[in-house]
Amino acid sequence: MSEQQPQQSSDVKTEQTSNDTKKDNPYPIKYEYELLPEDYTNFDISFKLIVIGDSGVGKSSLTNNAVKNVFEESYNATVGFEFFTFNVRMCGKVVKLQIWDTCGQELYRSLITNFYRNSSLAVIVYAINSKETFENIEMWLRELRTHSSPDIKIYLIGNKADLEKEREVTKESAEEYCKLNKIPIFMEASAKTGLNAQNIFLKAAEMLYDDYNLYQSKKKDEDDFESGKDENKKLGDTDSDNKKGGCC
């Protein structure tokens, strides 16, 4: 497969942004990566991801910031959904995230439940300056449990972190909520300043890529076992487990 090169060198980034300090981002990316343009056509692995949460919390703004590096102050409510792609090369493989940015309005909710089913990961967004949007996470989790695959991964994002003076939801209460609900990733973010916007999707790509490798490795072990190639495995040797995960 011949690969299209990024059109400009500015498309390629291998370092994390200046906002991306360890304090703000507790989940640094463990692999070297290269961001690729949105219209990059080739890929090795592709995953579907859905962004959900109340109307106005900044789902579209975060996605636009991560993919197109833009931010608009004006509010244009999403009607139904909008589709984005986020491409990144990790460990020599091009990972494509197909992002469904959905509308928060109840009117269109039945429309978006169709996307839940095929998504590998759901990003639930609330705004740190609105307690109501945080309390509604419960409802979004219920929606996910009803309509998505049981093994869907869930991230929680507290957006509008730049509005510190208007804060209604503490970081600690969100962390506690994640602990109770077994949500493994929580970040505060700001579509306005760019804080963690790209990280949300980079971390998603990394996590899904790791899962994919684990799945492939297990599948290979099973195939080898069935075809009788892996004699060690037959004898109960677990050395092949060392191959799982990671790359560079």
- The residue from 98, 130, 148, 190 that contacts ligand GTP (CB under 6 A) is 190
The residue count for binding Mg ion (CB under 5 A) is 3
For ligand GTP, the binding residues in 218-247 under the rule CB under 6 A are none
Question: For 177, what's the count of Cα atoms within 13 Å in the CB-facing half-sphere?
Answer: 21
Least distance to ligand GTP, CB of residue 143, Å:
14
Rounded CA gap, 148 and 224, in Å?
32
* Least distance CB 219 / ligand GTP (angstroms): 38
Q: Which residues in 42-61 contact ligand GTP (CB under 6 A)? A: 55-61
Residue placing its CB nearer to Mg ion in the complex, 78 or 120: 78
CA pair distance 120, 99, nearest whole angstrom: 11
Nearest to 123 by CA among 191, 82, 183, 180: 183
- Can residue 198 be called a binding residue for ligand GTP (CB under 6 A)? no
Contact between residue 113 and residue 52 where contact means Cβ atoms under 8 Å apart: no
DSSP bridge pairs for 34: 89
Q: Which listed option, Mg ion, ligand GTP, none, makes contact with residue 190 (CB within 5 to 8 Å by class)?
A: ligand GTP
CA gap 196, 161 in Å, rounded: 10
Residue of closest CB approach to ligand GTP: 58
Q: Distance of CA 111 to CAs 102, 108, 163, 238, Å?
A: 9, 5, 31, 46
Cα-Cα-Cα-Cα dihedral of 218, 220, 226, 228, to 10°?
-120
Part in contact with ligand GTP (CB under 6 A); list of ranges 41-49, 74-82, 200-208, 235-243: 74-82
Please give the residues from 95 up to 114 whose contact with ligand GTP meets the rule CB under 6 A. Answer: 103-105
Please identify, among the stretches 23-31, 39-47, 52-60, 226-234, the one whose residues bind Mg ion according to the rule CB under 5 A.
Answer: 52-60
Q: Residues interacting with Mg ion, by CB under 5 A?
A: 59-60, 78
